[in-house]
């Protein structure tokens, strides 16, 4: 593997801005990804169009065994390059999406290019991960059911692979009251904002910090004018948990919410978005990756559990062993660290010198899986 070639590929990807919401930009980036992939893998990808979006898939051999999963969309709006330009200084590369997760895509291509045969390998790169993978989720789950293992190229916190991720649920609680004039006849009204306050307290009490379950009221709205008893209110809740059991408990409880005020009505929509990636799904793959790292002279491979979700949650939920965090070395999501860049943060960057070691680890892990290591 060649570092100079890796950096050149990374520059091409980062400068092809790809905010999830801009389909034209995402399509243009897909062309760049496809070109780089074809050059390294020897074949063009299948372009899968779903609801106006395109996703890229390479499949090798008749019997798929391992899927390498990633995404080429980013959270950065078009034009971010003017403020956060692509650059390489010493060992640090910066630019929008460099850490999450374009460096991981580059490492993926170079790792696979080093293998003598790709029979049994599937590469799936989607364009809507940052917005919850609404068009690609079914595709990801279908492909995951056909393989023995999934390796996710999301970035790694200080090099630690992710053996567990919290699941995520998202709920909207709509509240209907009855409007009345706040000064003339407030008693005729049913205040949806007051009901909202009761429901916020009810959902907050569902959290279980000891179990790692958080319930966060994140967005609220209600009322129309200052002199009117509010007839409508709305609450959005973000829920995170380590286990499917906890996700089910919260789902039952939120759907069972009842009004605190007479004559007010509530309705609940939404639900589980991603099931937890529990450690039981990753333990065999982590053990195998740990062996590969030691045997390749890469040192001890560490693992971690994180609260953020990824498409690896989908693959684990369908029962396929999944190991995440095999991408670029950097910092934690949404925050800068001394060892790398935070995903979605204005200091987003990766350590160039870690790209070849990470690609070497990936190549070795893929080889062991293809040889029947699981």
| β 265-274/167-176 pair status | antiparallel
Catalytic member of 9, 17, 73, 351: 73
pLDDT in tens, 131-145: 999 999 999 999 999
> What CATH number should be reported for the domain holding residue 122?
3.40.630.10
Strand partners, 220: 235
Nearest to 157 by CA among 3, 327, 360: 327
Which of 243, 274, 305 terminates a domain? The answer is 274
Q: What is the maximal distance between C-alpha atoms in the chain? A: 82
Which of 274, 306, 336 terminates a domain? The answer is 274
> What CATH number should be reported for the domain holding residue 203?
3.30.70.360
Domain identity same for 229 and 219: yes
What are the CA-CA distances from residue 86 to residues 79, 89, 154, 267, 294 (Å)? 12, 10, 20, 47, 33
pTM of the model as a whole? 0.88
pLDDT in tens, 322-358: 999 999 997 533 333 333 445 545 578 999 999 999 9
Q: Which residues of 166-289 form beta strands (DSSP E)?
A: 167-176, 180-181, 214-222, 228-229, 232-241, 265-274
Q: Is 263 a catalytic residue?
A: no
State the distance between the two ends of the chain, measured CA to CA, in whole angstroms.
Answer: 26
Domain identity same for 252 and 187: yes
Q: Which residues contact 185 (CB under 8 A, 6 or more apart)?
A: none
Domain identity same for 216 and 330: no
Q: Which domain holds residue 105?
A: 3-166+276-370
pLDDT over 90 at 232, yes or no: yes
Domain identity same for 143 and 230: no
Domain identity same for 220 and 137: no
Q: Which helix (H) or strand (E) holds 71?
A: strand 66-71
- How many C-beta neighbours within 10 Å does residue 175 have? 27
pLDDT of amino acid 335? 33
Domain identity same for 51 and 162: yes
CB 66 within 8 A of CB 147: yes
CB 313 within 8 A of CB 273: no
Percent of the chain at pLDDT > 90 equals 92
For the chain, the helix, strand and coil percentages under 3-state DSSP, each to the nearest 5: 35, 30, 35
Catalytic member of 128, 129, 148, 324: 129
Q: Is 51 a catalytic residue?
A: no
């Amino acid at each position: 593997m060649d570092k100079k070639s890796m950096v050149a590929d990374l520059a091409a990807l980062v400068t092809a801005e790809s905010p999830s919401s801009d389909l034209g930009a995402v399509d243009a980036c897909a062309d760049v990804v496809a070109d780089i992939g074809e050059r390294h893998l020897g074949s063009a990808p299948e372009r899968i169009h779903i609801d106006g979006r395109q996703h890229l898939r390479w499949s090798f051999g008749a019997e798929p065994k391992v899927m390498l999963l990633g995404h080429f969309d980013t959270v950065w709006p078009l034009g971010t390059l003017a403020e956060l330009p692509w650059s390489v200084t010493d060992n640090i590369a910066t630019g929008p999406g460099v850490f999450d997760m374009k460096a991981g895509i580059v490492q993926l291509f170079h790792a696979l290019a080093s293998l003598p045969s790709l029979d049994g390998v599937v590469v799936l790169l989607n364009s809507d991960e940052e917005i919850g993978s609404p068009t690609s989720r079914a595709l990801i789950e279908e492909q995951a059911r056909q393989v023995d293992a999934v390796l996710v190229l999301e970035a790694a916190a200080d090099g630690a692979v992710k053996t567990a991720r919290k699941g995520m649920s998202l709920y909207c609680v709509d509240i209907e009251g009855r409007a009345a004039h706040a000064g003339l006849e407030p008693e005729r009204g049913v205040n949806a904002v007051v009901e909202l306050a009761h429901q916020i307290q009810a959902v907050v009490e569902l959290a279980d910090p000891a179990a790692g379950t958080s319930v966060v009221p994140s967005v609220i709205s209600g009322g129309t004018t200052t002199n009117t008893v509010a007839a409508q209110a709305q609450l959005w809740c973000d829920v995170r948990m380590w286990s499917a059991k906890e996700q089910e408990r919260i789902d039952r409880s939120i759907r069972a919410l009842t009004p605190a005020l007479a004559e007010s009505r509530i309705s609940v929509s939404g639900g589980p978005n991603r099931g937890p990636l529990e450690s039981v799904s990753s333990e065999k793959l982590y053990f195998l990756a740990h062996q590969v790292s030691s045997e390749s002279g890469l040192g001890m491979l560490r693992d971690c559990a994180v609260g953020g979700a990824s498409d690896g949650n989908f693959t684990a939920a369908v029962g396929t062993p999944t190991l995440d965090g095999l991408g670029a070395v950097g910092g934690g999501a949404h925050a800068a660290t001394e060892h790398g860049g935070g995903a979605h943060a204005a200091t987003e960057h990766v350590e160039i010198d870690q790209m070849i070691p990470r690609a070497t680890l990936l190549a070795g892990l893929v080889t062991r899986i293809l040889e029947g290591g699981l």
